[in-house]
Structure 1
Amino acid sequence: MAAVILIWTLVATLASLALFFASRIVSCRASRKRAVGFFHPYTNDGGGGERVLWCAVKAVQEERPDLDCVVYTGDHDASPDSLMARAIDRFGVKLLRPPEVVHLCKRKWVEETTYPRFTMIGQSLGSMYLSWEALCKYTPSFYFDTSGYAFTYPVARIFGCVVMCYTHYPTISTDMLSRVRHRTSTYNNEASIAQSFWLSRCKIIYYIIFSWMYGFVGSCTHLAMVNSSWTRSHIEKLWRIPDRIKRVYPPCDTSGLQALPLERPVTVPTFISVAQFRPEKAHVLQLEAFELSMRKLDADMPRPKLQFVGSCRNKSDEDRLESLKVRAVELKVERDVEFHKNVMYRDLVKLLAGATAGLHSMIDEHFGISVVEYMAAGAIPIAHKSAGPKMDIVLEEDGQQTGFLAQNVEEYADAILKIIRMPESGRVNMAAAARKRACRFSEQRFYEDFKAAIRPVMGTSSS
């Protein structure tokens, strides 16, 4: 008898929950606003993803002025005016009007520190909970994800939204599976797992299951914009919706940076590295390559300088920055290395104006906005030989080399030395070719392609 009562109690509880969720969804669907909701929980990350957010908001404001733009953010100090000011101060993007703001209280459910193990699935399921909070607070006609939370798409569909996304990087890729199969140790494949046959087998199974889930939720979007050829090839394989996928290169500030002179000070060659202080950006590799190039430097050659410029999202990034400073001391190059944290856009432009070359070392960087910014500013890029930089950016322009591609410490050090030893006329010629190629990835080109992509889904303004 007790078992029967327990079963009926469980059934009644589940039925009550189902009824609650159903009634909430019906209520929210009925009160949908004529608006575009941008799901971007971290509006203070300072990276290329945030630049895409503000350019996307501006593009929608221009294309559909009859629709309100709303930003879902977990940053509780964010306000319409502060976000509008941030867009122009940090990225030079002037919005037509301040966006509305919906504050999210459950952002901890998408933070990687919440999930020491099974981080991908944890953050993905957590994003569903966070999007539930967002859509219950404000239900727009159009839901736009600019942070790569694909698991929120079926939730938005349930709420009756037209779903669109701008995907910078697939949450999982065949490259990740390959590294686990070959037991390669990287920032997202710990050495303890890579060294164990059985743990590697288990992780492969986990990745296969997750990739199937990722493919299903991704296919729920009405429009998927991707930022590069590399990302498009992976998303097409995983989501299987090729007719709904459009390649739209991210917005790069090529026009403002192109006004900088190509000539640079020859007394102190300066190498700049612009990237958030995240593990996948491989700052240590750059530091070690710089130190190796210093050891190989000819006695009569000028002593170079290295500038790290980036933002910190959280304490882990802060700790990573501090450990990088410690590593510079260990390598005895601390007097030749500078660290610039959370700089304003105008200060970044000044630093780029004095840079001879720019360093980038992330493996499988989906695109590489910083690489394009180097090229537009007249700094010769030294980028990782993979994904976006290899397939889209650091390619010849009119038969002229536009930069260097490298894969390890030695290759990066050799590229640094080549640039230091390069005659000024040769450096200027290469920088000019790189600048010309950077025009392909301008902010204006982004606006044109972005609007063309959303027009069939959103229509045109009726006002």
Structure 2
Amino acid sequence: MAPYGILIWAVITAVLASILILASHVHNARRNRTTSVAFFHPYTNDGGGGERVLWCAVKAIQEESPDLDCIVYTGDHDASPDSLLARAVDRFGVELLHPPKVVHLYRRKWIEESTYPRFTMIGQSFGSVYLSWEALCKFTPLYYFDTSGYAFTYPLARIFGCRVICYTHYPTISLDMISRVREGSSMYNNNASIAQSNWLSQCKIVYYTFFSWMYGLVGSCADLAMVNSSWTQSHIEKLWGIPDRIKRVYPPCDTSGLQVLPLERSTEYPAIISVAQFRPEKVGYKLISTRHILFNLRHFQLP
């Protein structure tokens, strides 16, 4: 029994030592926390609406609270303050008041889909916690702003003493995903081999149900959550259970190209191809700018 007792005490000692080391890191980070806003956006060259939201949010902070520094956590090693400033203008037409500061992350592989051939969703979620640990240890802000949808990082940011703001484009898991598995529908998130097996479908329902519970738990740690549509808002409110802290903010769209189009139209009937979901906020008559993000941040009472 003596060898087993020694082994148990060794494990307990190692666990306690790890906890003390982690506590020391958190304590030092909280003590050195600066009055700033850090944006968790590991892919700053992904393009599309997600990156546009990032730059509109940075600009909103710079306009509303110029005394707050804006920092971007990125896994793109070639990103620099000047290159990101130029990208915001050239790619999205968003003119920042000054370049954001950059904190480079070197553990981005832990959130890449290729790292998790199976259980990808939960793997990426826990991987994002590890990546945000690197980010927060390198720089601890007062406000932690997630613009990429990594909700599992919110409790960690709260532990580091940050106030958490997020912009959610799409929930990591939705109630529709669970319904498709329950109905045996074969789709992108439910391959045919699982859809055709009642036992595998039941296992996946348990997995999805457990993950949705965890997603709701971590998402509820957000102090202010902005969502991009009525569909996302409905799912996030049900999953996170914080409807009073959720605001619908339609994605910022650049309409300068539309404004220069001639008013005259051809008499021929146009051919319309829809490549996305068709909802009122997707049609184009509810377009927002930096000011809409700014409005919600003002209600968040930034200093």
> Which bracket does the TM-score occupy, shorter chain normalised?
over 0.9
- Higher mean C-alpha deviation, range 211-220 or range 449-458: 449-458
SS of match in other structure, 1:165: strand
Is the aligned partner of 1:180 residue 2:181?
yes
2:95 aligned partner, one-letter code: K
Which of 282, 285, 290 aligns to 1:393? It is 282
1:361 matched to 2:279? The reply is no
For 1:43, what is the secondary structure of its paired residue? coil
How is 1:310-389 mapped onto 2 (pairs within 5 angstroms)? 359-362=273-276, 384=277, 389=278
Give the Cα separation in 2 of the matches to 1:67 and 1:104: 22
In structure 1, C-alpha distance between the alignment counterparts of 2:136 and 2:157, rounded to whole Å? 7
The answer to whether the 8 A contact 1:51-1:251 is kept is yes
> Separation in 2 of the partners of 1:238 and 1:196?
27
Residues paired across the two proteins, number: 302
Name the residue aligned to 1:442.
288
Partners of 2:116 and 2:299 lie apart in 1 by 39
Contact 1:255 1:442 in 2 (8 A): no
Task: Flag the 1:112–1:85 CA change in 2: closer, same or farther, 3 A.
Answer: same
For 1:449, give the aligned amino acid. Answer: H
Which residue number corresponds to residue 66 of structure 1?
A: 67
Counterpart amino acid of 2:296?
A
Change (3 A) 1:357 1:45: farther
Asked if 1:230 is matched to 2:119, the reply is: no
What amino acid does structure 2 have at the position aligned with 1:390? R
Report the counterpart of residue 123 of structure 2 in structure 1: 122
Which residue is equivalent to 1:220? 221
Distance 1:113 1:199, change over 3 A: same
Q: 2: distance between equivalents of 1:18 and 1:94?
A: 44
Aligned to 2:172: 171
Name the counterpart of 1:158: 159
The code of the aligned residue for 2:287 comes to: F
Q: Tell me, in whole angstroms, the C-alpha distance in 2 between the residues paired with 1:170 and 1:391.
A: 19
Q: Matches of residues 253-292 of structure 1 in structure 2 within 5 Å? A: 253-263=254-264
Shift of 1:21: 0.2
State which structure, 1 or 2, has the greater radius of gyration over its C-alpha atoms.
1
Which one-letter code corresponds to 1:69 in the other structure?
C
Cα distance in 1, alignment partners of residues 263 and 40 from structure 2: 39
Alignment of 1:459 onto 2:302? yes
Q: Percent identity?
A: 67
Whole-angstrom distance in 1 between the partners of 2:104 and 2:266: 47
- Contact 1:254 1:442 (8 Å CA) reproduced: no
- Cα displacement (A) at 1:261: 1.9
User: Equivalent residue for 1:338?
Assistant: none
- Give the match's secondary structure for 2:96: coil
* Shift in Å, 1:34: 1.3
- After superposition, the C-alpha distances for 1:218-271 in whole angstroms (9 at most, x for unaligned) are 00010000111111110000000011000111101124422222446789x9xx
8 Å contact from structure 2 (residues 57, 294) kept in 1: no
Sort the Cα spacing of 1:224 and 1:358 in 2 relative to 1 into closer, same or farther, 3 A: farther
Structure 1 length normalisation: TM-score? 0.63
Gaps of 5+ in 1: 270-355, 363-383, 395-437
When the two chains are superposed, the root-mean-square deviation of aligned CA atoms in Å is 1.7
Question: What corresponds to 1:320 in structure 2?
Answer: none
Partner of 1:401: none
Deviation at 1:357, TM superposition (A): 5.6
Q: CA deviation at 1:27?
A: 0.2
In structure 2, what is the Cα distance between the partners aligned to 1:154 and 1:360?
Answer: 39
Cα distance change, pair 458–248 in 1 and its aligned pair in 2 (3 A): same
C-alpha distance in 1, partners of 2:27/2:169?
32
Matches within 5 A, 1:14-25: 14-25=15-26
- Alignment match, 1:331: none
TM-score, normalization by structure 2: 0.95
Aligned to 1:210: 211
Which runs of 5 or more structure 2 residues have no equivalent in the other structure? none
Q: Is the 8 A contact 2:250 2:281 kept in 1?
A: no
